[in-house]
Homo-oligomer: A and B are copies of this chain.
Amino acid sequence: MAKPTLPQGTRDFSPDTVRKRNFILSTVKNVFGLYGFQPLETPAMENLETLMGKYGEEGDKLIFRVLNNGLNDPKNIEKSRAAFENTLQGKNDANLTSRALRYDLTIPFARYVAMNHGQLVYPFKRYQVQPVWRADRPQKGRYREFYQCDADVVGSTSLMNEVDLAMIYHDAFTALKIDGYELRVNSRKILAGLSEHINAKERLEEMTIVIDKLDKIGHDKVFEELSRKGFTEWQVKQIGTYLNIGVKNQNEEKLSLVKELLGDTGTAKKGIAELEFILDKVKGKNINLVVDFTLARGLNYYTGIIFEAKAPASVQIGSIGGGGRYDDLTGLFGVPNIPGVGISFGVDRIYDVMEEMAIFPTSLDISTTVLFFNEGEEQLKFVFEIAGSLRKKNISCEIYPDQDKEEKQFKYAVRKRIQFIFSSDLGNYKLKNLVTSESFNFTASEVHTETFTGKIESIISSHK
- A residues contacting B by CB (< 8 A) are 1-7, 10-15, 18-19, 22, 30, 33-36, 38-47, 50, 61-62, 64-67, 69, 71-72, 77, 80-81, 84, 87-90, 96-99, 101, 111-112, 114-116, 121-123, 125-126, 131, 133, 135, 144-145, 153, 156-158, 160-161, 164, 167, 171, 281, 285, 332-334, 367-368, 371, 374, 380, 384, 388, 391, 394-399, 401-402, 412, 415-416, 418
Contacts and interface: CB of A to CB of B under 8 A. Distances in A.
Contact of A171 (B69, B123, B391): B391
Given A401-B160, A416-B121, A13 B40 contact: yes
Given A12-B112, A115-B4, A394-B34, A67 B64 contact: yes
A15 B40 CA distance: 5
Contacts of A171: 391
Q: Which of A88, A144, A167 has the most CB of B within 10 A?
A: A88
Nearest to A418: B36
A69 B80 contact: no
Nearest to A90: B72
A133 B43 CA distance: 10
B65 A67 contact: yes
Nearest to A69: B135
Contacts of A5: 47, 115
A72 B88 contact: yes
For the complex formed by this chain, how many copies does it contain in all? 2
Nearest to A38: B15
B43 A158 contact: no
A263 to B, nearest CB: 24
Contacts of A80: 88
Sorted nearest first, the 4 A-B pairs with minimum C-beta distance are A36-B398, A15-B38, A10-B43, A158-B401
B15 A45 contact: no
A64 B69 contact: yes
Contacts of A371: 36
A12 B43 contact: yes
Nearest to A385: B284
Contacts of A40: 12-15, 18
A131 B396 contact: no
Contacts of A161: 401
Nearest to A331: B1
Given A5-B115, A88-B71, A391 B11 contact: no
Nearest to A158: B401
B62 A69 contact: yes
Nearest to A381: B281
A66 B65 contact: yes
Contacts of A89: 72
B87 A71 contact: yes
Given A67-B64, A89-B72, A396-B34, A45 B145 contact: yes
A434 to B, nearest CB: 14
24 contacts: A1-B334, A3-B114, A12-B112, A12-B115, A12-B116, A19-B38, A19-B39, A34-B391, A34-B396, A35-B396, A36-B371, A36-B396, A36-B398, A44-B101, A44-B131, A45-B64, A45-B133, A61-B69, A64-B67, A67-B96, A121-B415, A156-B401, A171-B391, A281-B384
A345 to B, nearest CB: 18
A31 to B, nearest CB: 8
Contact of A114 (B4, B38, B61, B111): B4
A177 to B, nearest CB: 16
A11 B416 CA distance: 38
Q: Which of A45, A46, A371 has the most CB of B within 10 A?
A: A45
Contact of A43 (B47, B69, B145): B145
